[in-house]
A and B are shown apart, each in its own frame.
Chain A
Amino acid sequence: MFEQSSYSDQYTFFQKLRSFDFILIFCILCLGVISNLSMYSTDGGQFLYHSKSHFIRFVTFFSMMIILSFINLRFWHSTAYLFYTITLAFLIWASIYGITASGSQRWINLYFINLQPSELMKIAIIVCFARYFHREQMTNINSFKNIIVSIAILILPILLVISQPDLGTSILIAMSGIIVMWLAGFNIKYFVYSGLVLVVSLPFVISILKPYQKLRVLSFFNPDRDPLGAGYQIIQSKIAVGSGGLTGKGYLKGTQSYLEFLPEKHTDFIFTLFSEEHGFVGSLILLILYAVLIFRILNIGSKSRSYFGKLFCYGFGSAIFVYVAVNMSMVLGLLPIVGSPLPIMSYGGSSMLATMIGLSIVMSTKIHSKQIIH
């Protein structure tokens, strides 16, 4: 036991470089290339504002991820609460001094970048939970104190994000948080009970939804209700995907996006554009890339000897899965339209930053997988 703990405390630079997960990097690079090409297509086949800034962001944050990967997992473990607290502070800042765009106060001005702290919170909540449950005894997990503290950790950012208002992101934060709580060993019955409470309170929740959010929920159930209004996005998105066929309309030839029938094509609906141009085959390849990425992250988690790293990887992998599944189900008309970007693919600096930070922690876990954190 002692031998094990003294083993592998320090690695050389080359040792670290050698233990990089190249499959993971390959997946990220593939997705990065695909996302940049798609962004180029949304700009109508020109290297314009969106494609330019997406490219810069991808290159910057990818390099940042590689560098951050060398940081010892202990650092993340020790700064987990700080990370969470700072992000929470940013959220509060956003709710007071935030920049408003399209009816929602989500961004804070950091002078060099406009940051969306709710995106960072997606990672921070997982890091924070990983740290919280790292030292916790299995027998104590379901204790009253743990339940209350976990719920508090989870509910605070959710309330802040909902009040922005940003339903999509708060749902995603909630889902990744809940998954981590369940993985950590919370009794399944708590989730069942709170689920029941949610169902009972649903009418009340719907009544406090903003009118545009209500409309989205209603138009999900019947998109033809208002084909030029709220249902427009779902209908046009389905037309775009459906008309793609087996092999798609060809790169830069997606008429639905090119002729501006697709709304928000560089953010939430980037998959629609990709699917229209590359068809079923292309979409399947993209899905496989995401699946490999996710299962690779889960695999790294399962090989980690530290509970912090393990739980983070499991949580983060599941979160990525949730983002991908929610986004795709949404654009394919399986879920109501809520704002949820597709990781790496969608345009958006904060989302990219958060994803890359998460991936760098995963990579760090891989490099330091033999390390035990006390």
Chain B
Amino acid sequence: MFDDGGSNVRKYNTVNRRVFILKIAKGIIFTGIVARLFSLQITENKKYLTLSDKNRLREWRLPPIRGEFEDFFGNVVAGNTKVYQLHVVPEQVEDFKYLMVRLKNILSLTDKQFSKIVKKKSQQKNWETLIISENLTWDQFSKVNFYLHELSGVKPVLSVARSYPFKENYTHVLGYVARASENDLINNEEIKNKHVPGLRVGKSGLEKTFENNLIGTNSVKRYEVNAFGKRINQVDFQEGAKGDKIKLTVDTEIQKLCNELLADKAGSISVMDIFTGEIIAMHSSPSFDPNLFMYGISHKDWDSIRENPLKPLINKTISGLYSPGSIIKPIVALSALENDVISTKFKVNCSGKTELYGQTYHCWKKEGHGVVNLRDALKQSCDTFFYEMSRRLGVDRLNVTARRFGLGNTVFKNLYSEEKRGLVPSTKWKKDALGKGWVLGETLITGIGQGYIQTTPLQLCLMTAQLANGGFKIFPRITFDKNQEPIEKIKYKMSQSLVVDNDNSSSLIRSAEDLFNKGEKEYTKLFRNQENIKFVLEAMYASTNEIRGTSYRSRIDDPKYRFAGKTGTAQVKKITKIQRELDLDTSQIPYEERDHAWFVAFGPYKDPRYSLSVFVEHGGSGSSAAAPLAKKLMKKIIDRHEEREKIRKNRLMEI
């Protein structure tokens, strides 16, 4: 009994002692749990709160609405149109197969379209919107609405898409939009940030250049979703802003005329304000309808564009490089005068050809022009005279003048990625690029715009503009600048620069590199003696308005429209002796070997305001293929002048 009691006491003691140890252990463990709770809920609360929000909130971004392009007169040239779309949320559909068969009948879908939609459905979640059609016709749309009560889960939706109301007229100016590609996302951060499936972005032209201004901002719907991604409720909605509206300096009426003039031809026309540098028209032919790219271009259409021998995909105005031919002559003449190589009284006897180191150089006129002075040589475009003059001038001095007037460099600054610089050769260039010494014969053919020299049609338009405005630097622009100075002020600035720079006669000696690197200021003079410019302009007037002038047949006698110009006929292939003797008509030569036809002009002659360049690829001679187009064009440009000025005045009053 006693033992028992003692044993019991020990037993009780043991269990009490051990429970005490256990109590301490429990206390420690509970403390550990509290510490863990503290670290999760207090210390790391922010981290887990973010994770929890990331779990529960999903953003649905809607495509931003793209900004519009307007022409000078406020017409929308690239806008957004309403499109009728058909969306289906498969989750809300009782019998998807039945619905699809119904829709197939109502919309008369082809089997191919049908299977495409079914495939798309299988790739996405049940509650995600399935786009049956992105662009329903009004017929289809109204038909669906008629049957809507029988089609649960079907949602006819009104959306917007890019549209180009003037179709092929603005294709090369604006470029076009299409679905953003992988590359677009990589190259443009802005697109990446705003991307939603099916977003259209600029693929070329201004649409691409101004992508970041045009794109706008997404509307954002924020939803609370459950663990399975199903939307529970909308938490908030942020309305996005439409992209910026971009106003162009282009006149649609003139742009349309350019398109008509170049119908069925390959070529380019550009028109420029010689004081403001505003591009009034800029067209490359043939063109194509960019609306075709909206919902995926069909193979047939794409092939017909791509395989067209007239190359509609190339913007010839700025990325087509061609020999300028005789269009270069005013610059050669100016360069010779400015450098005092010859005087205006200098005469050459043209016998139809000249020889140098055993090589014969022909004038375009076989029988020769006889004794000609500089004015006659420009007017009649005598090659022999220019051979002799450029021999005396040398290619390097010509290079400086030509580049000063805008050749050999892009006309726009980073506006078109596809714009080409062209080439004005020099002895240094040949040494660096080809590793060979310059040959004097090459100077002769450079003097008539053949050989290495290559220009874009727009460069020649700029060159003409800078001659026509009295020889002052302008910077062409295609986007409207509402701070544009009035013409009077520009003219005043030009006369001012005349005064200031007159003391510094070394302006001509400055190297061309200086010019481009330091960026010449607007309206600075590009000449040494303005009399030389005036002489050249007067010779161009003679070329168009005096008998025996190369473009005499395309003149306008009405002083209101009277203009001055210069023709150019650029050889594409060296003419062989046999061909020279045959003297074939243009139509008898294969298309690829026909001459390029050029014409540049400015007008009205009395008070010049506009310059233009017309280029017809393989069109034949400048006087017969290009100059007649310029005649019609100049009339239209001057007719539109009043209206254009009215707009400009109104705009000034607005400010």
Binding site for B on A (CB under 8 A): 137-139, 141, 179, 182-185, 236, 238-246, 255-256, 259-261, 275, 279-280, 283-284, 287, 291, 294-295, 298, 301-302, 307, 310-311, 314, 318, 321, 325, 328-329, 332, 334
B49 at interface, CB cutoff 8 A: yes
Distance from B126 Cβ to chain A, minimum over Cβ atoms (Å): 16
Extra 9 A-B pairs, beta carbons < 8 Å, given A239-B52, A256-B52, A334-B33 = A138-B7, A141-B11, A179-B22, A255-B224, A259-B226, A287-B34, A311-B15, A318-B26, A332-B37
Rounded to whole angstroms, the CA-CA distance of A239 and B54 in the bound complex is 10
CB distance from B590 to the nearest CB of A (A): 68
CB distance from A14 to the nearest CB of B (A): 31
Asked if A259 contacts B41 (CB within 8 A), the reply is no
CB-CB under 8 A for A261 and B55, given A242-B40, A332-B37: yes
Q: How large is the interface on B (under 10, 10 to 19, 20 to 34, 35 or more residues)?
A: 35 or more
Given A185-B15, A255-B56, A287 and B30 contact (CB-CB distance below 8 Å): yes
B411 to chain A, nearest CB (A): 56
The interface residues of chain B, by DSSP majority, are classed as helix
A183 to B32, CA, bound (A): 23
**In the bound complex, do residue B48 and residue A239 qualify as a contact, i.e. CB atoms below 8 Å apart?**
yes
8 Å CB contact of A280 from B12, B37, B224: B37
In the complex, A318 Cα to B4 Cα: how many Å? 28
Q: Which residues of A contact B652 (CB under 8 A)?
A: none
Contact B18 A238 (CB under 8 A): no
- Please measure, in the bound complex, the distance between the C-alpha atom of A245 and the C-alpha atom of B42, giving whole angstroms: 6
CB neighbours (8 Å) of A279 from chain B are 41
Question: A321 is contacted by which of B18, B26, B40 (Cβ under 8 Å)?
Answer: B26
B338 CB to nearest chain A CB (Å)? 76
Q: Is the beta-carbon distance between A239 and B41 smaller than 8 angstroms?
A: no
| Residue B92 is within 8 A (CB to CB) of chain A in the complex | no
- What's the least CB distance linking B636 to chain A, in Å? 67
B41 and A255: CB pair below 8 A? no
B230 nearest CB across to chain A (Å): 9
Residue of B nearest to A137 (CB): B7
Binary interface encoding of chain B residues 5-27 relative to chain A, with 1 for a CB under 8 A from any of its CBs, else 0? 00110111011101100110010
Closest A residue to B27 using CB positions? A291
For residue B433, CB closer than 8 A to chain A, the reply is no
Does B239 reach chain A (CB closer than 8 Å)?
no
Which of B12, B16, B37 is A241 in contact with, Cβ under 8 Å?
B37
A260 to B232, CA, bound (A): 11
Residues on the B chain within 8 Å of A260, using CB: 226-228
**7 closest pairs, A vs B, by CB?**
A242-B48, A243-B52, A259-B226, A280-B41, A138-B11, A260-B227, A242-B40
- How far, in angstroms, from A260 to B56 measured CA to CA in the complex? 10
Q: A255-B56, A332-B36 are in contact. Are A307 and B12 (CB under 8 A)?
A: yes
Q: A184-B15, A242-B48 are in contact. Are A259 and B36 (CB under 8 A)?
A: no
Are B45 and A183 touching (Cβ within 8 A)?
Answer: no
Residue of A nearest to B22 (CB): A318
Known: A137-B7, A183-B15. A284 touches B34 (CB 8 A): yes
Question: B314 an interface residue at 8 Å Cβ cutoff?
Answer: no
Which of B22, B38, B40, B55 lies at the interface centre, i.e. has the most chain A CB atoms within 10 A of its CB?
B40
Q: Check B45–A243 contact: CB distance below 8 A.
A: yes
B44 within 8 A of A: yes
Contact between A259 and B232 (Cβ–Cβ < 8 Å)? yes
Complex Cα spacing A259 to B26, Å:
35
Residues of B within 8 A of A314 (CB): 15, 19, 22
Q: Mark B93-122, 1 if CB is under 8 A from A, else 0.
A: 000000000000000000000000000000
Cβ of B225 < 8 Å from any Cβ of A?
A: yes
Chain B residues within an 8 Å CB radius of A261: 55-56, 226-227
Is B29's beta carbon under 8 Å from chain A? yes
Contact across chains for B41 and A242 when beta carbons are under 8 A apart: yes
Measured between beta carbons, the chain B residues less than 8 angstroms from A184 are 15
B51 at the interface (CB under 8 A from A): yes
Cα–Cα, bound, A335→B8 (Å): 39
Q: What are some 22 contacts across the A-B interface (CB < 8 A)?
A: A137-B4, A138-B10, A139-B7, A183-B18, A239-B51, A239-B52, A242-B45, A243-B51, A243-B52, A244-B41, A255-B52, A255-B55, A261-B55, A261-B226, A295-B23, A307-B15, A311-B15, A314-B22, A318-B26, A321-B29, A329-B33, A334-B36
